[in-house]
Each structure stands twice: as structure tokens, then as C-alpha cells.
Amino acid sequence: MSLEPPLNIFLLQLSDLSENTRSAYQRDIESLITFLNLHNLTSWHDVGIAEIRRFIATRHRQGVSGRSLQRNLSSIRRFFNYLINEGFHISNPADVIKAPKSPRKLPKVLNVDETNTLLEIKADDPTSIRDLAMMELMYSSGLRVSELAGLDMTVLDLANAQIQVLGKGNKQRLAPVGTKAISALKGWLKHREKFTKDENDAVFLNRNGKRISVRSIQQRFRHWGVKQDLKSSLHPHMLRHSFASHILESSGDLRAVQELLGHADISTTQVYTHLDFQRLAQVYDQAHPRARKKKD
């Protein structure tokens, strides 16, 4: 008996999904079938929790990431639900199995010198003046790029050096605005009226007088990263990460950084403590006489 026929019928029932999604399901289940064939299993009735667990463990040893293994399990769960409905199986062995977690990647940040280099641009035309205001505000207030694009004039309170931000889950927070960002914003607002059309309330506008898009912000930041000769490709979140890292490095107050970033869970913010320790470890390696490598 072959394991393939149920898969072929299962794939036909995914016609409502995109071609890429169907291909992902097919690859995931075919990988499982290849594994089962190697272990001489020819019937889905014989596939239980132990077999699925061994499959995931084998993939993990092969270096497959935790995120990919989670997707594998998601595909397998949906496939076994189909097998149950069609009478090929009586339970879903993948329901009780969790994928190993991948090590969390540390966010890329700019150091203080790199940040200063980026923000020392020659802003002598409306577009560069706007871009400087966006970068200064993002670094000053730790905004997400979606929050930056979504800012309206009504939330600006430059007299009190703060803005009201609408974050994830429609949660509002007050964010401080530094003097450099206030100065850059005032410079942009003098030019903004030349762009605005249809009484657009957005703080940052494109050349057509419409609210600037997230994609456009990403492109403009990448442009300035290249122009200012930064080593890393600049993306908006890098300034948010840099904001958090620099505040934590100076204050050591994780709760305050959590509030400033608008994180619902402090565990999300804790990644910056790892980043701060990484920096301290580098300083230690360079400075401690017993840590420095001997020169050849």
C-alpha cells in the first residue's frame, strides 16, 4: 500500500489556497512520506506520535530551523485532520508535538557614532528635510515604521515634547520627542503645506500629497543608509532597535524601555538585555588582560 494517494487527493482540496501555500504543504508532507518509507511504513494507520516525533527530531538534527519545523507540523496536523475525516486514521498524532525553538536572533542596531553619522545628512530640499524628520523622530521616540506612517497632525504636541502613538492592537501610548527631533519636525512642517492636498491630516506626505507608505519609508531609509556609507543595510526598525538599545545601555531600566516601545509583554523587550550583554562581552574581551588573545 502506498502513502501517496491520500496526499494527492488532499492537495486537490486546497484549491482555495495560493500556489505557494499548496506547494509548501506538498513539500512538507512529501518529506514526511520519504522519512516513513525509509522506515518501511506503508500505511497511515501505522503512523503515530512516535513516528512524527522521530521525523521532527531528524529534521532538527539536519539543521532545519524551529520556524520551519513549526510549519512542517502545521502542515502535518492539517493533513492528519483530512486523514481522520476520510477514515485513514483515528487521531492526530501531531497535535501533542511541539517544534524545538530556534535561538532568537538579536536585532541589528547602529552604535551611537553610526547613528550620528546617519542623522548628519545635508537636508537642503523638502524631500531630505522630510526624511531627516522621519529618521530623527523614529530614533527619538522608538516608533514602529507603521506607527510613523500612521501619524496624524492631531497627535503632535511639540510644545510638550510628546506625541500620541497608536500601536499594535489599537493601543495608545504617549512617546517623548527629543529636541533634535522637534527641530527636524518643525523644519519639515514649514514645507509640508506645499505637499498637502485634500486636507490630508498625515504628518508625513509623499510628493503627491498623500500619506507616505511604509514601503516608501523603507526605500528612503535604505537610500540614506547607502548615501551615509553605513556598513549595514538600513531599515526603519534598525532605528527603533537602536533607540531601545541605547536607552537600556544608559539607564538599565528594562520596564521603562518596555513602556517606551509599547511592548505588551516584557519578554519581548528582554532581547535588548542580551544585546547589551553582547556589547559588554565585547568590551571585556578587548579590555581584560586574561581575555585578550595573544598576537602571533
Catalytic residue numbers read 144, 168, 237, 240, 263, 272
Cβ atoms of 211 and 225 closer than 8 Å: no
Comparing CA positions, the residue from 138, 110, 145, 142 lying closest to residue 275 is 110
Comparing CA positions, the residue from 63, 66, 65, 72 lying closest to residue 27 is 72
Q: In what order do the strands lie in the sheet with 156-157?
A: 156-157, 162-166, 172-176
Sign of CA dihedral 20, 24, 26, 30: positive
Which stretch of DSSP H or E encloses residue 139?
Answer: helix 126-141
Comparing CA positions, the residue from 19, 22, 20 lying closest to residue 7 is 22
Backbone φ and ψ of 6, nearest 5°: -60, -35
Backbone φ and ψ of 208, nearest 5°: -90, 5
